[in-house]
């Protein structure tokens, strides 16, 4: 198999997209992806579908896929460093759903989605332990999933209020990407959480990071909270994006020479409330449009 920097040339440029997960539109005022595409196709070049295999796809994801529109598959139910999670029924479910979605690639937070055995609706999501010993198991899981599906698998840096381990988050994921020979999904809001939690400036660790492996970015709102004197950021996917996140996003776009997609995570907000977010992200990425069919 060619190395990733050769394989990335075959990945489509999707432009700006929006995320969803099972039942997201059931909430009052939540975003309708197809309506967003009708009103502003430049904001909805693709749909990133969050998937728990046990739940499958909801009507919105199925309608999008039935229209032959571009997608990516975001897993919500796999601890990549745990071989027990790669059981045959789960893998068959992934293949079945991927056959319906026809995603450009797989992606998802490379952390702990559950403790103990996988169960319906766990959705725990803790960041990985940032030590060198955790790199190989995570990388091996990425390789296993890529080989099982035939699709590129992009690990995403998860959110967190606290992070364990001595490595900088960017250094950790750089090591994972090199060992797995894979691309990366950088969540700018999640990185802002890490930098704040560690007392770093927003762009700490950027020099030396393998930006040519970054295929996708996420931008999302977050709310600063205080719990018993601990300041932390809630990953609420709202309309208020932290200044740190904007700074990270602007620099990431400038450095990520193989960037193919940016998701604005705002699925539980009305369209009119989120259009300014899309416009600001679009201004960061000239020439962002998807490739001609």
Higher-confidence residue of 56 and 238: namely 56
Count the helix, strand and coil residues of the chain and give each as a percent rounded to the nearest 5. 40, 20, 45
- Identify the three-state secondary structure at position 36: helix
pLDDT in tens, 9-28: 999 999 999 999 999 988 88
Task: Specify the pLDDT at position 224.
Answer: 84
pLDDT surpassing 90 at residue 254: yes
pLDDT surpassing 90 at residue 115: no
Looking at residues 231-260, what average pLDDT do you find?
Answer: 92
Please state which of the ranges 15-24, 116-125, 137-146, 191-200 shows the lowest mean pLDDT: 116-125
Angle (nearest 5°) at CA 236 between 231 and 242? 60
pLDDT in tens, 257-287: 999 999 999 988 999 999 999 999 999 998 7
The rounded distance, in Å, linking the Cα atoms of 97 and 142 is 18
Q: What is the mean pLDDT of the chain?
A: 93
Tell me the domains of the chain and their CATH numbers: 4-292 (3.20.20.150)
pLDDT surpassing 50 at residue 293: no
- Tell me which residue of 65, 44, 57, 50 sits closest to 20, measured CA to CA: 50
- Contact of 233 with 225, CB cutoff 8 Å: yes
Higher-confidence residue of 117 and 225: namely 225
- Residue 26: half-sphere exposure toward Cβ, Cα within 13 Å: 6
- Contact of 180 with 134, CB cutoff 8 Å: no
- Contact of 174 with 238, CB cutoff 8 Å: no
Task: Specify the pLDDT at position 62.
Answer: 98
Looking at residues 21-49, what average pLDDT do you find?
Answer: 94
- Tell me which residue of 212, 128, 126 sits closest to 173, measured CA to CA: 128
pLDDT in tens, 184-239: 999 999 999 999 999 999 999 999 999 999 999 999 988 888 888 888 878 788 88
- pTM listed for this prediction: 0.94
pLDDT surpassing 60 at residue 113: yes
């Amino acid at each position: 198999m060619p190395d990733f920097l050769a394989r990335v040339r075959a990945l489509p440029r999707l432009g700006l997209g929006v995320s969803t997960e099972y039942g997201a539109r059931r909430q009052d005022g939540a975003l309708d992806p197809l309506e967003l595409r009708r009103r502003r196709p430049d904001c909805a070049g693709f749909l990133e579908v969050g998937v728990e295999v046990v739940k499958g796809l909801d009507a919105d994801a199925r309608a999008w896929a039935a229209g032959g529109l571009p997608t990516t598959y975001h897993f919500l139910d796999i601890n990549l460093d745990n071989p027990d999670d790669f059981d045959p029924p789960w893998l068959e479910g992934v293949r079945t759903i991927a056959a319906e979605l026809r995603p450009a690639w797989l992606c998802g937070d490379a952390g702990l989605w559950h403790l103990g055995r996988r169960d319906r609706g766990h959705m725990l999501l803790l960041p990985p332990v940032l030590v060198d010993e955790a790199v190989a198991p995570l990388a091996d899981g990425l390789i296993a999933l890529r080989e099982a599906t035939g699709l590129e698998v992009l690990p995403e840096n998860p959110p967190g209020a606290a992070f364990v381990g001595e490595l900088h988050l960017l250094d950790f994921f750089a090591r994972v990407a090199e060992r797995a020979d894979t691309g990366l999904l950088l969540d700018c809001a999640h990185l802002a959480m890490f930098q704040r939690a560690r007392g770093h400036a927003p762009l700490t660790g950027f020099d030396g990071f393998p930006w040519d492996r970054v295929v996708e970015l996420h931008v999302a709102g977050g709310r600063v909270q205080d719990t018993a004197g601990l300041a932390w950021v809630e990953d609420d996917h709202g309309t208020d994006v932290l200044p740190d996140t904007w700074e990270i996003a602007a620099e990431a776009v400038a450095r990520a020479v193989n960037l193919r997609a940016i998701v604005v995570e705002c699925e539980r907000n009305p369209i009119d409330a989120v259009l300014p977010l899309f416009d600001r992200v679009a201004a960061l990425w000239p020439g962002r449009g998807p490739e001609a069919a």
